[in-house]
Structure 1
Amino acid sequence: MSPFVSFALAQVPIPPDAERLLARAAADGDRDAREELICAGLRNVALHALRLGHRGDDLDEAVAAGVEGLIQAVDRFDPDRGTRLATYAWAWIARAMTPAPPVTVSEPREPASVDTDLLDRLPADLAAVVGLRFGLLCEDGVGLTIQEVADRLGLTRWQVRDREGRGLSRLREGLARVTRRAPHGEPIPRSSIGRAFDC
């Protein structure tokens, strides 16, 4: 277990009255109060990651993602609604720890035939991941593994899976819009990405 996860598990919950005072101060711009709320919430982040079965490097990645969700929850928390921060933050933490499901591509991968103009529809970070995973940005047209993409872009495996899922989701939505606008009776070419998702 990494030192950070051990540190997170060692954090002590804040009593309800103190939590309300800190939350009100944080909402008014008190950075120290905000940091104290975040530190106190780290224990819940680590516990949730452990309950999901994460271990080793995956545990560290899950906790790092969960901390992002915790921070968003702290910044939106309203103590006057009668809910504890731990209860409110739980959904934010869980959502941040749940990347889009990985895409299954049959092996061996064939060189990609998708026009790279498709990538222009995506933000640069999503386009880079999708392009490398499906070989659109590779000279040999063969996609890279999640670990290879992570190493090349300086990301964690979780970040690669998340960006890949979001990028492909956007492409599917774009292709669906094109399909709906197409004249009836004319076949629409199906890309390799379309075949992978049976669009």
Structure 2
Amino acid sequence: MVSPFVIHALAQVPIPADAERILARAAVAGDREAREELICAGLRNVALHALRLGHRGERLDEAVAAGAEGLILAVDRFDPERGTRLSTFAWQWIARAMTPPREAPVVELAEAPVSGDDLLVGLPEHLAAVVGLRYGLLCEDGVGMTIDEVAEHLGLTRWQVRDREGRALSHLRSRLARVGRRAPLEEPIPRSSIGRAFDC
């Protein structure tokens, strides 16, 4: 069953190019109503993209909510003078917001395992905080938080949490790959139990 939120998004009417340009110029000048109108109209593309990706049920709601955050960022960065439609410009922001970060690899080296504290060393503080909470490295019980819980705890949006988590995991993968080239693996890389965080 499609939620009222998604139905509302799909029901939005696209704005003609000329009207969009006028609204975008007004939004750049600080007109909040114009900004809101652009965001509302763009929600249709967000919902359609989520459906094309195969999201259904609760996952559809989550994807549309995440995509809406990407849309808002796109609207705030949109330059109507470049001759590009907002829907074209916003596409990458929407797609990026809907793309979940990959699972962090767990690597055991021949000499000693890589601990959670070791993994966070060298990460920028704002990235370490997000990935540490998501995977329980900074939690007393060792249980990772959901995206919503991390967002609330750190005062961030869901999109910001996804973005920072993705950048942190990319950094960690790069670091672990360099370490892995120096020391052979003792056994195959196991699937991490913290991967369940992505099922939330």
Same fold (TM over 0.5): yes
Within a 5 Å distance, the mapping from 1:78-89 to structure 2 comes to: 78-89=79-90
Aligned residue for 1:6?
A: 7
Q: 1:149 aligns with which of 145, 148, 151?
A: 145
Amino acid at match of 1:168: L
Structure 1 gaps of 5+ residues are 107-111, 181-186
Q: Which moved more, 1:17-26 or 1:68-77?
A: 68-77
Distance in 2 separating the partners of 1:121 and 1:60: 35
| Structure 1 position 24 matched with structure 2 position 25 | yes
Q: Which deviates further from its counterpart, 2-11 or 131-140?
A: 131-140
The answer to whether the 8 Å contact 1:102/1:165 transfers is no
Q: Displacement of 1:63 after TM fit?
A: 0.8
Rounded to whole Å, the distance in 1 between the matches of 2:140 and 2:184 is 24
For residues 151-174 of structure 1, what are the alpha-carbon distances to aligned partners after superposition, in whole Å with 9 as ceiling and x for unaligned? 893559x87776554322212334
Report the CA distance shift for 1:191/1:29 in structure 2 as closer, same or farther (over 3 A).
farther
CA-CA distance at 1:17 after TM superposition: 1.4
**What corresponds to 1:118 in structure 2?**
119
Higher RCO structure, 1 or 2 (CA under 8 Å, sep 6+): 2
Match in the other structure for 1:109: none
Q: Letter of the 1:153 partner, please give it.
A: E
Q: Which runs of 5+ in 2 are unaligned?
A: 108-112, 153-157, 192-200
For 1:196 and 1:75, locate their aligned partners in 2 and report how far apart those are by CA, in whole Å: 42
More moved, 26-35 vs 75-84: 75-84
CA distance in 2, matches of 1:90, 1:152: 24
Instruction: Quote the residue 2:43 is aligned against.
Output: 42
Give aligned pairs, total: 178
TM-score (norm 1): 0.69
Which amino acid letter does the alignment assign opposite residue 149 of structure 2? Answer: L
- Aligned mates of 2:74, 2:150 — CA distance in 1: 27
Rounded to whole Å, the distance in 1 between the matches of 2:186 and 2:65 is 35
- Distance verdict in 2 for CA 1:83–1:174, change over 3 Å: same
Query: Which letter does structure 1 place at the counterpart of 2:84?
Result: T
Change (3 A) 1:29 1:129: closer
1:24 Cα deviation after fit: 0.6
| Structure 1 residue 138 displacement after superposition | 6.2
User: Separation in 2 of the partners of 1:191 and 1:75?
Assistant: 49
C-alpha contact 2:70 2:96 (8 A) present in aligned 1: yes
Counterpart amino acid of residue 146 in structure 2: A
Q: CA RMSD in A?
A: 3.8
Is contact 1:101–1:161 with CA below 8 Å preserved after alignment? no
**1 CA distance for matches of 2:97 and 2:134?**
22
